[in-house]
Amino acid sequence: MHNSDRLPPRVTPRRRSGRHRDPLSFDKWVGTPPLVLVAFGTAEGAADGADFATEMVDLVRPYRPETSLHLAYTHGETHSVSEVLAELAARRDDEQQTVADPCDAVIVPMVAGPHQPTLTAIDEAVRTTGVRARVTDALGPHPMLAEALHLRLAEAGCVRADRMRLISVVAPSDTMADGVLVGSVGGPDALNAAGVTAVLLAARLGVTVLPAPLDDPGQMEQAFAQLAAAGCRRPAIAPSVVGQEFPAVETSALASKHGARSGGPLGANTITAKIVALRYAEMLNALGVERQPTLEDLPRPVGSRHRQED
């Protein structure tokens, strides 16, 4: 017999798991740690192409509306990573956060691969300020980074905007690049990351793609020679650079020297912003620590059964 006065059973919603789970989702915390975006260079160098950083903050914000976002630079006096982390440390002391809190900040280096100068500046700032910070991986290697490089090459008119088909009845264009160098900056680890991106980009374009360090003239010569040996006559450089790691004017000079064209730096766009948001979500999930809400954190019940006492 049905009892109309009986409350319905509580059903706990199940989190979707597996391949269809939203990669940006994570176990909801009460008071997620601040997200600090660190760009290589200085705030004063914005005129040289570092203005992408402030735009990146605006693009990341819709993906991470539950946390505060902070922008920092590895060098300079204004908005340096040490200054930003010191402010977060002071705020932590004012709010008397407990040791049980997982961390004071999550730092995302806005570089395309392991960039040692950026990582060294972050480590030094964390050490001097005493902030309990967690540093995520760089933006690459990541499949979406290859998509962003493809976009920049297409904007420069070097490749087709859509992905290359395995079978095409259209004659190849004599204006499109038939070989690409993915340029890295930051050392051997950055070159390895660019190698992964090069494989992913080759799958998208259907042409020969090789990694090469932009800051090593000898290896750049060898990479262009490899492209020529493979029959490439219209090479292009895809700089796997986000901001000031390697000036755009030097990339253009390299392209002119080797008779090639080049795409622009990755900069700020919806693709790179989403990777930043993903790195933040990955770190929260990796921490696996959730601070239990206090009574002050919970919303006040409403209704006749929860009237305030007089």
* CATH number for 57: 3.40.50.1400
Residues 247 and 193 in one domain: yes
pLDDT score for 298 = 45
C-alpha–C-alpha distance, residues 52 and 241, integer Å: 12
Residues 132 and 191 in one domain: no
Pairing of strands 261-262, 208-213: unpaired
Residues 236 and 280 in one domain: no
Residues 55 and 28 in one domain: yes
Residues 72 and 118 in one domain: yes
pLDDT score for 304 = 46
Residues 176 and 229 in one domain: yes
Residues 131 and 280 in one domain: yes
pLDDT score for 56 = 95
Q: What is the CATH number of the domain that holds 238?
A: 3.40.50
Does residue 113 form part of some domain? yes
Does residue 6 form part of some domain? no
- Identify the three-state secondary structure at position 125: helix
Does residue 1 form part of some domain? no
Number of domains in the chain: 2
Q: Fill in the amino acid letter for 184.
A: S
Does residue 256 form part of some domain? yes
Q: Which pTM value belongs to this model?
A: 0.80
C-alpha–C-alpha distance, residues 235 and 293, integer Å: 57
Does residue 296 form part of some domain? no
C-alpha–C-alpha distance, residues 159 and 138, integer Å: 26
* DSSP H or E segment with residue 271: helix 270-287
E strand intervals along 130-173: 133-135
C-alpha–C-alpha distance, residues 265 and 148, integer Å: 10
* 275 to 23, 42, 102, 138, 268: CA distances (angstroms): 10, 22, 22, 9, 11
Q: Going residue by residue through the chain (310 aa), what tens digit of pLDDT does each one get?
A: 555 455 444 444 344 444 445 555 544 444 689 999 999 999 887 554 447 899 999 999 999 998 999 999 999 988 999 999 999 988 877 665 544 566 889 999 999 999 999 999 999 999 999 999 999 999 999 999 999 999 999 999 999 887 654 444 344 567 799 999 999 999 999 999 999 999 999 999 999 999 999 999 999 999 999 999 999 999 999 999 998 899 999 999 999 999 999 999 999 999 999 999 999 999 988 886 444 444 454 445 444 444 444 4
pLDDT score for 172 = 53
Residues 127 and 48 in one domain: yes
Count helices and strands (H / E) in the chain: 8, 8
Residues 77 and 47 in one domain: yes
Residues 55 and 194 in one domain: no
- Supply the range of the domain harboring residue 228: 143-262
Residues 108 and 179 in one domain: no
pLDDT score for 97 = 54
Does residue 118 form part of some domain? yes
Does residue 17 form part of some domain? no
